[in-house]
Structure 1
Amino acid sequence: MTSITEEQNGIHQKKPFYRSVPFQIAVAAGVSFTAPGMWDALGGLGAGGAAEPYAVSAANAILLRAIGYPLYGAGLYTNNKTATTWFMIFGSVCCGISAGFFWAAEAAIIIGYPSPKERGFYLACWQTAKASGPIIGGAITLGLNANRETAGSVGSATYIVFIVLMCLGLPIALLLSPAHKVWRKDGTRVVVHKHASWWAELQAVGRLAISRRIVLLVPAFFISYFYNPFVSTWLTSYFTVRSRAFSSFFTPFAGIFSSFIIGTFLDRQSIFIRTRAKVAFATIVTLLVGTWIWAIILQKRFYDNPPVFDWFKGGFGSAYALVFFWTFTGQAFQQYCYWLIGQYTTDLTSLSHHTGILRGLEALGQTVAWAMQSEAGVNHFVSIGINFGILLIAIVPTWIVVSALDHTHEEVVTEEIVGSDKADEEGSVGPEGLQAAALAKN
């Protein structure tokens, strides 16, 4: 494995590349690609590729997800072959249990390992990895289903490919390094502040959950991925199988574009951090409001004369463009939430608490949203109205939090501090190290 050599205090120190931030982010992104990326690819088909969205929506309602992901894919396969729903529900439960741990750890690594000025870029890389799953999975699906001009379910061979890819997540995850061994190119280190006991850890999470900042951000966290189940139902209701396969392949590019656009802007150190935060938030909200107004207009037209769009025929363009911009703005909003909480953390432990709360509320939002789509004949205007309403509710409290942002709150810990007696033998930085770091920052 390639090593990087730096001269520090007159001593040449070899830094293995596999301990660097880029490599660690690549590993985390690889797991995201094989697990949630493939799950998103199935979702991009509309109802996991099923003919009807309701049973799959019910399963997704209990999906909180990388050992459990293959079981979820297997459940979709059996449902496709034999219309068996119990195993699909079982796979969703297993996937949900494992996902709770996966989500918190994944987000903490992506935000906590890079330095604050690089977080926007690495968040975009992470989003790209997740989007690459649907792109590649969508290409596979498109190739296997390109001749299916009618509505219905995708071929069963599609699920076999997804299950194989999902199984690769576990061996890739074994390449991750402990936080205290990761090095950054600017010389700062990842801070890990351990609590004395699990009870102290639980109390810290409780205090954070009821803090003013988190309470204000609850609506934003809840709505950040709330739109996705309705998009799945929209695709299943109004598009042919091959149109849905095309959407599964092409729509993730929208998330990649928006992730790098917002990530690049949020990393611009020449612009004051509060200004960056306000401009980005106002732009995202404006685009989101526009998509839901667009949805209302199209839905009124569809209820009067329900269509089934084949690709590039009839009104496919305007209907699919809405799906594209839902993903474009939705991914940008989700990434913005991660970036925002990343500015308030002092160490990886605190960051895992923040991301755990964010992803928990995000999962709760998805659970409610999937449950709304689990009944046949659900009124689409109700779904649109709830999405639009919660978005409007989230604007003011999120703006209050954004307006209070004046600098990144991360403690700056250097190689010297970690190498001193202020770091414990496992590499975690104790209170004295954090105090020294704060003095160094100021």
Structure 2
Amino acid sequence: MADDEKHAADPAPEVAPVDSYAAAQNGAEFVDRPAGWIYKGHRIFGKEVYYASPRVQLLLVALVCFLCPGMYNSLTGLGGGGQVDPTAQDHASVALYSTFAVVGFFSGTFANRLGLRLTIGIGGLGYCIYSASFLSYNHNKNIGFVIFAGAFLGVCAGLLWTAQGAVMMSYPPEEKKGRYISTFWIIFNLGAVIGSLIPLAQNIHSHSGTVSDGTYAAFIVLMFLGLVLSFFLLDANKVIREDGTKIVLMKNPSWTTEFKGLWETLYNAPYVLLLFPMFFASNIFYTYQNNDMNAAAFNIRTRALNNLLYWLAQIIGAVINGYALDYSGVSRSVRAKASFVFLFVLTFAIWGGGYAWQKIQPSRSVVSAPDYESHKVDWEDGGKLFIGPMFLYFFYGFYDAIWQTNIYWWMGSLSNSGRKAANMAGFYKAFQSAGAAIFWRLDAIGTSYDTMFAATWGVLAGSLVLAAPVVFYKIKDHVSIEEDLKFSDETIEDVVVGANKTTDV
């Protein structure tokens, strides 16, 4: 028999089955995407960009947060919501974070059931109403409206931040999560920076304690624009990563499956409970920093300048930490441990400096005197009165960015599932808000500044100790898609597009 006839008669060699997920991960930059304008690529700065990509969707979410919570942070960062007397903001913040804590716990369920676009849209509504309540308070001192606006904002913010957390943790590929988190934090805090320029510009010659009506009006307009922008987002089921994979979601989620999912997240990963104290601690420092330091020690224009520097420091911290967390020279598990050690050292270095400042500050009873406003520090005082505290306040902002980006990156390292990320973000925002509510209440009832400082520092340090086992032993170098699908009715084929087909772009 001729060689070619012999070879023709031989059975065809077996071809090993293709792992669709691995093919998508290791193949060309892009695989087949469905037809439609949202998947049509455009080359910008040498990169292929399309509307339904994680990169564009995260940018839109960041811009919504730039205009809504970013401006809110600028307003609260002035101390007292821009008022001389912080009582109205204290009570509004207690109402805000109380409702936030309740809604936040279940908001992952709502985000999975309603979709991320609608969840963020509803979430953006409360911010402009909150700013409007302070504009009203400037004229009629109607504290009831301010408290209602705070409670309503808590409901809205619980939804918005949970959906945002799900996007930030589940959309990016594993090797880019730090950069995505960093990019979000930069844009979000740029909103607070620009928002801080508004009261600084409008009050640059003012030594009084209350911001102008124009400041509140500017915040209202910008927050409303954020609400409008939220409706240009896509739901997660339409988003396709650059490697061709889709977001892991539950098929046809119902309220029953989503409430069950809350329990499953804890039941199947009980070590997550060790992160809850860190969630609790993640917003408690704002009360001391905004009201008990910035508002208590500085006049209005200096508060505005400190506020600007605080949010600029957040951007610097996010840039440094985000890229360090994605550094490919060492494994992800090693990066997790290094990030924990860095945060632990910062907790004692920066707050140790805060202790040195707090020891020499006047008590709350002195600061609350009617004529004390004229004795507050102005930036023209310079020296020890302003320069030292200014740098301390700057590093408080830097610390906040390191704390928040670490938590998000650690949570994102535990799973790539959109469903799990939404539930995790809900837990995070719930306990974060519970902590904030308690500390705003402590401030409202006149707790001494020394006690507020000590309690804040103690909770931060203690929560890190409890979180250490999760960071050191549960964050792995990779989370397989099979592990993420373990408690979902999705299959590998459901989350990979055009499994074995690649196209050159």
Tell me what 2:77 maps to.
Answer: 44
Aligned to 2:459: 390
**Partners in 2 of 1:396 and 1:435 — Cα distance?**
37
Taking the aligned partners of 1:244 and 1:347, their CA distance within structure 2 comes to: 41
Measure how far apart 1:224 and its partner are.
Answer: 1.3
8 Å Cα contact 1:131/1:255 also seen in 2: yes
Matches for 1:52-131 after TM superposition, within 5 Å: 52-63=85-96, 64=100, 66-131=124-189
Relative to structure 1, the CA distance from residue 127 to residue 11 in structure 2 (aligned partners, 3 Å threshold; closer, same or farther) is closer
* Structure 1 counterpart of 2:115: none
- Counterpart of 1:225 in 2: which secondary structure? coil
Q: Matched residue of 2:205: which SS?
A: coil
TM-superposed deviation, 1:119: 1.2
Match of 1:430 in 2: 490
The one-letter code sitting in structure 2 at the alignment partner of 1:143 is A
Show the 5 A alignment for 1:201-216: 201-209=258-266, 211-216=269-274
Alignment of 1:189-268 (within 5 A): 189-194=246-251, 197-209=254-266, 211-233=269-291, 234-268=293-327
1:36 Cα deviation after fit: 0.3
The answer for the alignment partner of 2:120 in structure 1 is none
**Which residue identity does 2:490 align to in structure 1?**
G
| Distance of 1:9 and 1:50 partners within structure 2 | 56
Q: What residue number does 1:353 align with?
A: 423
Post-superposition offset of 1:248: 2.4
Structure 1 residues 197 and 399 mapped into 2: Cα distance closer, same or farther (>3 Å)? same
| Aligned residue number for residue 56 of structure 2 | 23
1:10 deviation in Å? 13
Determine if the alignment matches structure 1 residue 139 to structure 2 residue 197.
yes
Aligned partners of 2:317 and 2:402 also within 8 Å: yes
* Percent identity over paired residues: 27
- Answer yes or no: is 1:156 the counterpart of 2:225: no
- Structure 1, 46-55 or 158-167: larger mean CA deviation: 46-55
Equivalent residue letter for 1:107? G
Residue type at the aligned position of 1:406: K
SS, match of residue 234 in structure 2? coil
Partner of 2:445: 375
Moved more, 302-311 or 334-343: 302-311
Q: Deviations over 1:202-229 (max 9, x none)?
A: 1221232464222111111111121011
Answer yes or no: is the 8 Å Cα contact 1:188–1:412 preserved in 2: no
Q: 1:412 to 1:161 in 2, by over 3 A?
A: farther
Give a deviation string over 1:68-99, Cα, whole Å, max 9, x none.
Answer: 11110011111122222111111111111111
Q: Deviations over 1:31-61 (max 9, x none)?
A: 1011100100101111211101122111111
182 and 237 in structure 1: CA distance in 2 versus 1, 3 angstrom threshold: same
TM-score normalized by the length of structure 1? 0.88
Q: Unpaired segments of 5 or more residues in structure 1?
A: 414-421, 423-427
Distance in 2, matches of 1:118 and 1:6, equals 14
Tell me if structure 2 keeps the 8 A contact 1:347–1:410: no
Distance 1:409 1:9 in 2: 24
Q: Structure 1 residues 199, 320: closer, same or farther in 2, change over 3 A?
A: same
Question: Which has more radius of gyration?
Answer: 2
Letter of the 1:48 counterpart? G
- Secondary structure class of the residue paired with 1:293: helix
Query: How far is 1:284 from its partner?
Result: 1.4
TM-score, normalised to structure 2, is 0.78
Alpha-carbon distance in 2 for matches of 1:286, 1:132: 26
2:376 maps to 1:308: yes
CA–CA distance in structure 2, aligned partners of residues 79 and 11 of structure 1? 52
Query: Which residue of structure 1 aligns with residue 411 of structure 2?
Result: 341
Cα separation, 2, equivalents of 1:328 and 1:8: 40
- Does structure 1 retain, via aligned residues, the 8 Å contact 2:68–2:227? no
Give the whole-Å Cα distance in 2 for the aligned partners of 1:346 and 1:298: 42
Question: Does the 8 Å contact 1:226/1:365 carry over to 2?
Answer: yes
Q: Tell me by how many angstroms 1:263 deviates.
A: 0.6
**Aligned residues, how many?**
419
- Residues 76 and 88, structure 1, Cα contact 8 Å, conserved in 2: yes
In structure 2, how many angstroms separate the alpha carbons of the residues matched to 1:8 and 1:91?
47
Q: How far apart are the structure 2 equivalents of 1:21 and 1:332?
A: 23
- 8 Å CA contact 2:481, 2:492 repeated in 1: no
